[in-house]
Structures are given as structure tokens and as C-alpha cells.
């Protein structure tokens, strides 16, 4: 008979890991296939509100969104940009204070061109504005772009495949920790879950049993033969079950010979019932091969006990002892009757 197979963990963690990895791979493929669309959405050179070259004051035109930034290519001559409101055709008032907005979207390009953010504003779409550009050096060939960040968002979310690829990647990333949780929850224990107390008090796992022992337990055939049944103190086995030691002395022969009294005989003699002690000697289960001798010895012991109690040791001892309680009972009954008569006379008076 073969040993039972070891407990295996749930296959679902590996399945979830495989599904998560596949989703991440598919999402990345979709995102890479939309790289041109990403470049069109986030590259200021392709997606801008207006483009300016060199120094000067330039109108922005109609402003439809609220979040705008001014970008230039990193490494070009640095530009200083101010945005002002327009009344008629001339700028008025102080420059508009810069403010950061839509921080999740930044300029990027497919050809790894770096862009520098020169200024950022949060505008009111109902007003008109002009941009004043100044440079410390020659910036006649330097180009800058006035970009609507709101258009970055709308252009990005306009691609269905781009959204699908991003969503699939996110789901794949979320499935990975779920697979780890399922794996830890379904992981089989290192040790056996059922322990058994051996006869010597030690604990043993049920997996240490042989297949034959397991069959014996399942068929209720008793304890396997190769298991030690001896129990260490204080739960030691009785002499009837455990092997007898060399110091063990069997008193059956002495009880049968009349040299020892059993517990039942001692209690019978303590109660004054000599006849019961003698009867026990005749019918006791420790009676040996010489019943007459055992009976004589028991009678002799009863006689000795009677002498100690001040009763004559003869053949009529048991009858006297049996009659003695009856006489005491009769006298007690007579005294009780006299007392009752006395109380009756007192009540009549």
C-alpha cells in the first residue's frame, strides 16, 4: 500500500500570476503601438495653441481653456515671458500671476526632445491676452509654444486603443498582489495538523504511521502491534496489563493459606460481622487450592478478633453477635414505649 500523497497548494495563485503577466504584456503592446498618438498629444511642437519666434508682443488669440503653459526646447536661448490682459489693442495692468495647474500632464516627445517650462497660468476663458517675450541674448531664432494643457488631456483620451492598453496594464498590476494573497491563504501547512499522544506520553504526527497502521486504525482492529503500550508514571499501567517487575509479590497464595486478610474481610471484622468474614473466606475469589485450610484460618482470625473485643470464642459466637443487636433494639423499643406512656399520662393530667 502506498503512502498518501502530500497535500498540494491551490493552483489559482499561479493562474492569477499568469493572467496578470499576460495582461501587462498585452497592455504594453497596445501602448507601444500608440506611441505616435502619445507624441501628438503631448509634444508642444504638434499640439499647441500658438507658436512664437524671437522677442516681441504677440496676441494669444481666442482662449478657450483655463490651464496654459509656455514651453521652449532645452538648450535654446532663455526667454522671459509675461502674460497681460488686453483692452482694445493695448495691454493693460500688471502681468498675470503665474499658477500651476494639471500637474499630471507634462510635455514629452517621441524623439526624446527635452522641453523647458517657462511659465504657467490659470486663465479666464472670457478675456483676451497678449504675450510679451524678452531675451537677454539673441533669441531671434528661438521658438516658444503657448500650449493648452486641457488639450493634452482631451487628445490623450480620444484614443480608444490607448485607453484600453492603459486599463489592461493597470488590471495586470492589480492582479499580482491578489495572486500573492491567494497563495499565502492556500499554502499547505509545513507540519501535520493532527497529533497523537504515544503511550510513553510523547506526541507523534499521524504522518509517521505506516500505511498498514493507518488501515488498522480505520478498521478499528486495535492499536498497531509495533506501538509500545507502556506508560511512564504517573500514568503507569496496572500489573494486569504491564509486565511484572522483579520486586512484585503476589499475595494470592498467602490469602488462600489464611496468612493474609483481604480488604473485605478486614471491613467485615471491623463491623463485628465475623460470619461475613468467614463466608468471604469460603467464597472469595482468592481462595487457593486448600479451601478447608483457608476457612479454618479465617475462623481462627475471627476468633482472635472476638477475643480482642471481649467475646468468648466458641461455636456460638456468630449467633450471639447476631442476637446482640436485636436485644439492644428490643430494649430501646421498650424504653421508647415507656417514655411515650409517660408523656401520655402527663397530657391527661
Contact 171, 23 (CB under 8 A): yes
- The pairing of beta strand 79-87 with beta strand 90-92: antiparallel
Q: What percent of the chain has pLDDT over 70?
A: 61
Provide the pLDDT for residue 330: 47
If you average pLDDT over residues 298-321, what whole number do you get?
Answer: 62
Contact 265, 298 (CB under 8 A): yes
Provide the pLDDT for residue 346: 57
Provide the pLDDT for residue 245: 55
Provide the pLDDT for residue 168: 93
Is residue 101 packed enough to be buried (19+ CB in 10 Å), middle (13-18) or exposed (0-12)? middle
Rg (CA), the chain: 56
Provide the pLDDT for residue 307: 75
Which residues are bridge partners to 117 per DSSP? 71
pTM exceeding the 0.75 threshold for the entire prediction? no
- The pairing of beta strand 67-73 with beta strand 115-122: antiparallel
* Cα–Cα distance measured from residue 68 to residue 275, given in angstroms and rounded to the nearest whole number: 123
Provide the pLDDT for residue 88: 76
If you average pLDDT over residues 147-160, what whole number do you get?
Answer: 86
If you average pLDDT over residues 317-342, what whole number do you get?
Answer: 48
If you average pLDDT over residues 264-277, what whole number do you get?
Answer: 77
pLDDT above 90 (res 344): no
Q: Summarize the chain as % helix, strand, coil (round to 5).
A: 45, 15, 40
Provide the pLDDT for residue 180: 87
Comparing 120-134, 167-181, 300-314, which segment has the lowest mean pLDDT? 300-314
Higher pLDDT, 309 or 246: 309
* Cα–Cα distance measured from residue 230 to residue 222, given in angstroms and rounded to the nearest whole number: 15
Higher pLDDT, 206 or 39: 39
- The pairing of beta strand 115-122 with beta strand 50-53: unpaired
Contact 73, 109 (CB under 8 A): no
Amino acid at each position: 500500500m502506498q503512502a498518501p500523497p502530500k497535500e498540494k497548494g491551490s493552483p489559482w495563485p499561479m493562474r492569477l500570476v499568469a493572467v496578470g503577466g499576460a495582461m501587462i504584456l498585452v497592455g504594453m503592446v497596445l501602448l507601444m503601438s500608440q506611441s505616435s498618438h502619445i507624441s501628438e498629444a503631448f509634444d508642444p511642437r504638434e499640439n499647441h495653441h500658438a507658436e512664437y519666434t524671437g522677442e516681441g508682443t504677440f496676441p494669444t488669440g481666442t482662449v478657450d481653456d483655463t490651464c496654459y503653459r509656455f514651453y521652449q526646447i532645452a538648450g535654446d536661448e532663455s526667454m522671459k515671458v509675461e502674460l497681460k490682459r488686453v483692452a482694445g489693442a493695448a495691454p493693460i495692468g500688471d502681468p498675470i500671476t503665474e499658477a500651476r495647474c494639471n500637474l499630471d500632464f507634462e510635455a514629452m516627445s517621441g524623439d526624446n526632445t527635452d522641453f523647458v517650462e517657462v511659465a504657467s497660468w490659470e486663465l479666464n476663458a472670457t478675456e483676451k491676452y497678449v504675450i510679451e517675450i524678452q531675451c537677454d541674448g539673441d533669441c531671434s531664432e528661438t521658438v516658444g509654444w503657448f500650449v493648452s494643457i486641457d488639450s493634452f488631456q482631451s487628445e490623450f483620451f480620444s484614443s480608444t486603443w490607448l485607453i484600453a492598453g492603459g486599463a489592461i496594464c493597470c488590471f495586470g498590476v492589480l492582479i499580482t498582489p491578489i495572486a500573492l494573497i491567494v497563495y499565502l491563504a492556500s499554502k499547505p501547512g509545513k507540519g501535520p495538523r493532527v497529533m497523537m499522544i504515544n503511550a510513553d506520553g510523547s506526541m507523534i504526527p499521524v504522518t509517521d504511521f505506516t500505511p498498514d497502521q493507518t488501515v488498522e486504525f480505520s478498521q478499528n482492529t486495535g492499536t498497531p502491534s509495533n506501538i509500545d503500550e507502556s506508560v511512564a508514571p504517573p500514568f503507569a499501567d496496572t500489573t494486569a496489563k504491564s509486565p511484572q517487575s522483579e520486586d512484585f509479590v503476589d499475595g494470592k497464595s498467602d490469602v488462600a493459606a489464611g496468612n493474609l486478610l483481604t480488604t473485605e474481610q478486614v471491613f467485615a471484622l471491623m463491623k463485628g460481622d465475623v460470619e461475613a468474614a468467614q463466608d468471604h473466606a469460603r467464597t472469595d475469589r482468592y481462595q487457593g487450592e486448600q479451601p478447608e485450610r483457608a476457612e479454618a484460618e479465617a475462623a481462627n482470625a475471627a476468633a482472635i478478633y472476638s477475643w480482642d473485643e471481649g467475646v468468648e470464642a466458641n461455636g456460638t459466637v456468630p449467633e450471639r453477635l447476631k442476637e446482640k443487636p436485636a436485644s439492644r433494639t428490643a430494649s430501646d423499643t421498650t424504653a421508647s414505649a415507656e417514655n411515650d406512656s409517660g408523656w401520655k399520662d402527663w397530657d391527661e393530667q
